[in-house]
Amino acid sequence: MPEVFIDGKRFEYEGEQRLLQFIQDQGMEVPFFCYHPSLSAPANCRQCLVKVGQPVKDRETGEYELDENGERVIRWFPKLQTSCNTMISDGMVVHTQETDDLVKRAQKDTLEFILINHPLDCPICDQAGECPLQIQTYKYGPEGSRFEVKKVHKPKRIQLGPRVILDAERCINCTRCVRFTDEVSKTHQLTITSRGDKNYPITAPDREFDDAYSLNTVDICPVGALTSADFRFKARVWEMNQTPSIDITNAKGTNIDIWTRDNLVLRITPRYNEAVNDHWMPDEGREAYRLFNENRVSRPHQKIDNEQVKSSWNNAFATVAEQLEGVDKKDVLLIGSSHASVEENYILSKLSSLLGYNEPVFTSHTEKGKGDGFLLTDDLAPNANGCRLLGFNEVDNSKLSGLAEKAKVVLLLNDNLVDREVLSEDQLNNTFVVSFSTNHSQTSKTADLVIPITCIAEHAASYVNIDGRIQRSFPAKETKYTNRRLDFEMNEGRLDRYGTNFDNWVTEENKVDCLPFWIVASKLADQLGVDGFDYGNGREIMEEISSTLAPFEGVSYARMDEESGIVLDQEKTTVKS
C-alpha cells in the first residue's frame, strides 16, 4: 500500500487524496480558511502551507536513493505548498507547523496579513465563539500587530438577500460563498467584485441573493462577514446548547442541529451526513425553528360553548375516556400522521388494537412542484414512509374526509388537516374530535379537546425519510416535566457544564406544559382500564417495534446514532395481527 510520512510518522493511504483532508482525517491539524471538503480547492487563503518533499528514485533501478546513513534522499519542493490542493503521492514527506519552523513562520505571516484589514470587532461579531479566524489566530497567529496605518474600509450591513447580510470589512475573500452558489446550489448568484484588498462578494447589480439555500453561505463563512438576517444579534454561541435532530419540513430527513438557549430554539443549522444532506440544508428548514417556540399548545384545551378554554390533565383524560366509552367501537376513527414520529404512530396503532378500534389511517402531505431534486421534496412531512412501514392505511384526502364525517369520535395525531383543507369544520360538527397537537392551528381550534404533546425538539423519536432511512431526534428543549440535568438524552451546553444554576437563564414560561404522546396514551389506557400499556420513552418503544415489526428488524437508537441512520428494507411489510 502506498505510504506517506507526515511529521515523521508513517501513514498508509488509498486512492486519490488531498493532503489537507488526509492530515485532518488522521486527527492532526493544519490551519486553513478557504478549503471546504465539499467544494473545489482554489488555494487562495494560503493558510495551509506545508513543506513537501518526494524521495529521489534511481532512474535505472527504480529504487529509492539512500544517503550515507541509509535514509532516503528527499527532494523538497523549492516553495512551501498549499496542502489543500496537493494530492498525496507514494513516499511523500510532509512537515507541518509542528515540525518545521519555516512552515510555522509562514502560517503566522499569512494570519498577520489576514488580520491587518480585518476589523477585529469580535466582541460585537456574531461569529465570535465559532470563528475559524478567531480560533486559528489564537493557535497560530502573531501576538501583536505591526500594522500602524489605516485599514481598508468597505461597505457594511449590506442586505444581500432576504436572509443574508454582508459585512464586507470582515470578509477575508476565501470565496467559499461564491463557490457554494457556483458548485452546490448552482444559482451563480454571488461573485467577487473589485480588486486587491478592496474586493468582497456581492450579487450582480439589482439582483437579490434569494437562493433557496442561501443560509448555507453563512454557515461556511469562516468569519462574520455573512450573517443570518434572522439570527444575528440574538445570542452568543457559547450560551447555546446544540442538539442533533432531523429537519421536519420535508421528507428528505436533512440532519440538523437545534440551537437552544433558555428553552427557546434560536436557530437551526445543518449537520453533516454524507448519505443525506452532506453539509447543507435548505433555508426553509431553518425557518421551522419558530414552530418549536411560538404558538405552542400548553396545557389541555377543551371547547366549552364554542370557546376553547384551558383545562386540566385529569379532566382531559376523563373526557376522552367518557367519549370513547359511550360509542360503538367502529365509530371511532384514529388518524395517524406523517408529521409525527414512528414511535407516536406506533403507539396510536397499539392503542387501536388493544381497544379494538380500526387500524389508524393517514394521508400524505404532498405538494407537487415543491421538490427540487436536491434537498427539497414534494412530500412536506418527515415521516410518511414511517407510517407506511407501520402498515397504516394510506388514504386519499376525500376518503379521509368521508371517514371523519361518519365517525362519532376522532383521535387525531398531530396533523393540521383543517389547515390543509382535507377536512372542513362543518364536516366535524357531529364528531367529537380529540386532537393531540404540538401547535395551535385551525385544526386544533376545531377540535373539541386538544391535548398538547411534545414536538421533535422535546423528545427522542425516529423518522423514516423519503429514501427509507430511519433517523432520530434528541430532546433539545425542556418541558414542564423534564430536566436537562436528569435526562441523559439531552445535550449539555457550556453553561450547564461549567456554570452554576444562577449563570443560566431559566424562564419557566418558555417550558411548554405538554407530554410525549406515549405518556398521554399510557394515561389514557389507565383511564380505560387497559393493562400493560406503559411506555417511558422512545427508546423502549423502538425496542418493541424492532422486535415485533419486520421492516424495523435490528433497528435501535444505538445503531442509528452510530451509523448516522439506518436504511430500512422497504420491501418488507408489517403483517397486521
Partner 1 sequence: MSTVDWKNYEPVLIPNIKDIHKIDVYRKNGGYEALKSVLTDKKKWADQKSVIEEVKSANIRGRGGAGFNAGLKWSFMPPADGGPRYLACNGDESEPGTFKDRKIFEYNPHVFIEGALIAAYAMEITSIYVYIRGEYKAYIQMMEKAIQDAYDAGMIGKNIFGSDFSVDFYVHSGAGAYICGEETSMLESLEGKRGYPRVKPPFPAQKGLWGRPTTINNIETLSHVTSVINRGADWFKSIGAENHPGPILYGISGHVNRPGVYELPSGVPVFDLINDVAQGMRNGKKLKAVIPGGSSTPVVRADQLDGVTMDSDSLREVGTMLGTAGMVVMDEDTDMVDMLWRITHFYHHESCGQCTPCREGTGWLEKVMLKIKNGEGEIKDLDLLLDITTQMEGRTICALADAAAWPVRHTITRFRDEFEARCKKSVHAVA
Q: How crowded is the C-beta side of 305, counted as CA atoms within 13 Å?
A: 0
Nearer to partner 1, 145 or 573 (CB): 145
> Looking at 79-87, 122-130, 528-536, 568-576, which segment touches partner 1 (CB under 8 A)?
79-87
Rounded to whole angstroms, the Cα distance separating 257 from 244 reads: 4
By CB under 8 A, the residues from 168 to 197 that bind partner 1 are 172-173, 191-192, 194-197
* 267 and 260 Cβ atoms separated by less than 8 Å: no
* 478 and 264 Cβ atoms separated by less than 8 Å: no
Closest contact distance (angstroms) between CB of 34 and partner 1 is 9
Closest contact distance (angstroms) between CB of 337 and partner 1 is 50
Residue 47 touching partner 1 (CB under 8 A): yes
Nearer to partner 1, 106 or 297 (CB): 106
Nearer to partner 1, 172 or 387 (CB): 172
Q: What single-letter amino acid sits at 490? A: M
Going by DSSP bridges, is the β-strand pair 226-228/241-246 parallel, antiparallel, or unpaired? unpaired
Nearer to partner 1, 32 or 357 (CB): 32
Among 75, 79, 330, 576, which residue sits at the site for partner 1 (rule: CB under 8 A)? Answer: 79
> Looking at 8-16, 36-44, 162-170, 503-511, which segment touches partner 1 (CB under 8 A)?
36-44
> Looking at 63-71, 143-151, 207-215, 534-542, which segment touches partner 1 (CB under 8 A)?
143-151
> Looking at 126-134, 148-156, 281-289, 313-321, which segment touches partner 1 (CB under 8 A)?
148-156
Residue 134 touching partner 1 (CB under 8 A): no
Closest contact distance (angstroms) between CB of 87 and partner 1 is 10
Judged by CB under 8 A, how many residues of this single chain contact partner 1?
34
Going by DSSP bridges, is the β-strand pair 49-55/92-95 parallel, antiparallel, or unpaired? antiparallel
Q: What is the maximum span of the chain, computed from C-alpha positions, in angstroms?
A: 99
Closest contact distance (angstroms) between CB of 252 and partner 1 is 33
Residue 59 touching partner 1 (CB under 8 A): no
Nearer to partner 1, 224 or 371 (CB): 224
Residue 477 touching partner 1 (CB under 8 A): no
In degrees, rounded to 5, the angle at the alpha carbon of residue 275 between the alpha carbons of residues 229 and 392 is 95
Query: What is the CB neighbour count within 10 angstroms for residue 5?
Result: 17
Among 20, 80, 376, 519, which residue sits at the site for partner 1 (rule: CB under 8 A)? Answer: 80
Among 83, 96, 97, 110, which residue sits at the site for partner 1 (rule: CB under 8 A)? Answer: 110
Residue 101 touching partner 1 (CB under 8 A): no
Task: Pinpoint the alpha helices (H) of 356-485.
Answer: 384-389, 397-406, 442-446
* 433 and 332 Cβ atoms separated by less than 8 Å: no
In degrees, rounded to 5, the angle at the alpha carbon of residue 317 between the alpha carbons of residues 314 and 318 is 85
Among 5, 113, 272, 313, which residue sits at the site for partner 1 (rule: CB under 8 A)? Answer: 113
> Looking at 44-52, 202-210, 397-405, 485-493, which segment touches partner 1 (CB under 8 A)?
44-52
Closest contact distance (angstroms) between CB of 46 and partner 1 is 5
Nearer to partner 1, 173 or 482 (CB): 173
Residue 100 touching partner 1 (CB under 8 A): no
Rounded to whole angstroms, the Cα distance separating 37 from 21 reads: 7
Give which of 299, 277, 260 is closest to 484, Cα–Cα. 260
The secondary structure of 88-132, three-state, reads CCCCEEEECCCCCHHHHHHHHHHHHHHHHCCCCCHHHCCCCCCCH
* 168 and 217 Cβ atoms separated by less than 8 Å: no
> Looking at 62-70, 145-153, 457-465, 481-489, which segment touches partner 1 (CB under 8 A)?
145-153
Nearer to partner 1, 36 or 286 (CB): 36
Residue 146 touching partner 1 (CB under 8 A): yes
Query: What is the CB neighbour count within 10 angstroms for residue 475?
Result: 25
Give which of 476, 477, 463 is closest to 414, Cα–Cα. 463
Torsion of the alpha carbons at 17, 18, 21 and 27, rounded to the nearest 10: 70
Q: What single-letter amino acid sits at 217? A: T
Closest contact distance (angstroms) between CB of 81 and partner 1 is 10
- Cβ-count burial of 460 within 10 angstroms (0-12 exposed, 13-18 middle, 19+ buried)? buried
List contacts with partner 1 (CB under 8 A): 42-47, 49, 78-80, 85, 106, 109-110, 112-114, 116-117, 146-147, 149-150, 152, 172-173, 191-192, 194-199
